[in-house]
Chain A
Amino acid sequence: QKEVEQDPGPLSVPEGAIVSLNCTYSNSAFQYFMWYRQYSRKGPELLMYTYSSGNKEDGRFTAQVDKSSKYISLFIRDSQPSDSATYLCAMSAGPGGYQKVTFGTGTKLQVIP
């Protein structure tokens, strides 16, 4: 069993839809949770960074963490064609710096105009 599971998609939605992206994990040591967006042939871009359970909102993006269920989500409201990319969840036991980060396989999202 992988430490982090993520549905690879592809996920295709119409412009303006609410998108829900999810990951599950098995390592209870994970405390820090991140979502990255990666466009084709580019490095991943950090979108959201959360610690422990709870919600965090930034513009059209909302990240949710449920540590009791070992389940994290990223919601994108009013999705735009420019949101079309691969979204990677990531998590670590520590805040960064020296900490190894474990990534999901990524979900490919396509927003259709």
Chain B
Amino acid sequence: GAVVSQHPSWVICKSGTSVKIECRSLDFQATTMFWYRQFPKQSLMLMATSNEGSKATYEQGVEKDKFLINHASLTLSTLTVTSAHPEDSSFYICSASPEFGQFFGPGTRLTVL
């Protein structure tokens, strides 16, 4: 149990385009999901907390207009990177929790050319 999936697993896009990443909890419902970013050889950096049916809570320094989060159902949260630039290239990972701990998706590698 406690499986979290992400789609796509990797994406390459041109600078200026928008990219949507989906995070799904497959065998449990999650009113809260978390979005992280991880640069090479660095730890996870929490970007935002996604809340079902309400606005996401963003960490300090994260641009909410650039990283749009929609938590439309108890099993799906989406992160849209708007007008992506090369510096947005990173590994994006979501997590969710059934009761305890947090279970992570496999991650999405974004490369912006």
* Chain A residue, CB-CB nearest to B59: A100
Q: Of the listed stretches A39-47, A53-61, A65-73, name the one at the interface; the rest are far from the partner chain.
A: A39-47
Report whether B97 and A43 are in contact in the complex, using a CB–CB cutoff of 8 Å: no
* Chain B residue, CB-CB nearest to A101: B102
Chain B interfacial residues counted at CB < 8 A: 27
Q: Does A113 contact B (CB under 8 A)?
A: no
Point out the residues of chain A lying under 8 angstroms from B31, CB to CB. Answer: 97-98
CA distance A46 to B97 in the complex (A): 11
- Shortest distance between the CB of A96 and any CB in chain B (Å): 4
Q: Which of A32, A88, A97, A104 has the most chain B CB atoms closer than 10 A to its own CB?
A: A97
Q: Does B91 contact A (CB under 8 A)?
A: yes
CA distance A98 to B95 in the complex (A): 11
Point out the residues of chain A lying under 8 angstroms from B43, CB to CB. Answer: 88, 103-106
* Chain B residue, CB-CB nearest to A94: B100
Contact status of A44 and B32, CB under 8 A, knowing A88-B43, A106-B43: no
Contact of B46 among A49, A96, A100 (CB under 8 A): A100
- Shortest distance between the CB of A110 and any CB in chain B (Å): 14
CA distance A41 to B43 in the complex (A): 12
Q: Give residues of chain B (90-106) contacting chain A, Cβ–Cβ below 8 Å.
A: 91, 93, 95, 97-106
Contact of A45 among B99, B104, B109 (CB under 8 A): B104
- Shortest distance between the CB of A16 and any CB in chain B (Å): 27
Report whether B102 and A46 are in contact in the complex, using a CB–CB cutoff of 8 Å: yes
Point out the residues of chain B lying under 8 angstroms from A95, CB to CB. Answer: 99-101
By Cβ-Cβ distance, the 7 closest A-B pairs, closest first, are A96-B97, A43-B104, A96-B100, A105-B43, A95-B100, A43-B107, A49-B101
Interface residues of B (CB under 8 A from A): 2, 4, 6, 30-32, 34, 42-44, 46, 49, 91, 93, 95, 97-107, 109
Contacts A43-B105, A43-B107 given; 5 further ones with Cβ under 8 A?
A34-B102, A41-B91, A41-B107, A46-B101, A103-B43
